[in-house]
Amino acid sequence: MREITCYRCGHSFSVPDEYAGRNVPCRNCEALNSVPANPGSSGTRLFDHLDERGQDLLEQRFDRLLQALSEYERRAPALKT
Ligand SMILES: [Zn+2]
């Protein structure tokens, strides 16, 4: 279980580990709170519905996409304000 403190009303409640990396509604005010993913956990993958191989492939592609995006950001001209 994880302890969540609602960002809106400050109400504390616990959610099962399966909700790591997802959004859960506060028990008190129903604001959506994101449950922090456990960085050391191997149980939480980006694409839960795929098998190991599919997850690895997709995560590799996702990494490449992120790299391409940050590369693009570096090349893009600074925003004029
Ligand atoms: Zn709340």
Delimit the domains of the chain by residue range.
Answer: 1-44, 45-76
- How far away, in angstroms, is 6 Cα from ligand 1 center? 5
Mean pLDDT along residues 10-24: 92
Three-state DSSP class for residue 79: coil
CB-CB neighbours of 26 under 10 Å:
19
pTM as predicted? 0.45
Q: Which residue shows structure tokens 């008190």?
A: 28
Residue type, 1: M
- How far away, in angstroms, is 3 Cα from ligand 1 center? 13
Are 10 and 23 spatial neighbours (Cβ–Cβ below 8 Å)? no
Question: What is the band of 10 on the pLDDT scale with cuts at 50, 70, 90?
Answer: very high
Are 4 and 15 spatial neighbours (Cβ–Cβ below 8 Å)? yes
Q: Report pLDDT digits (tens) over 45-77.
A: 556 667 778 878 888 888 999 999 898 888 887
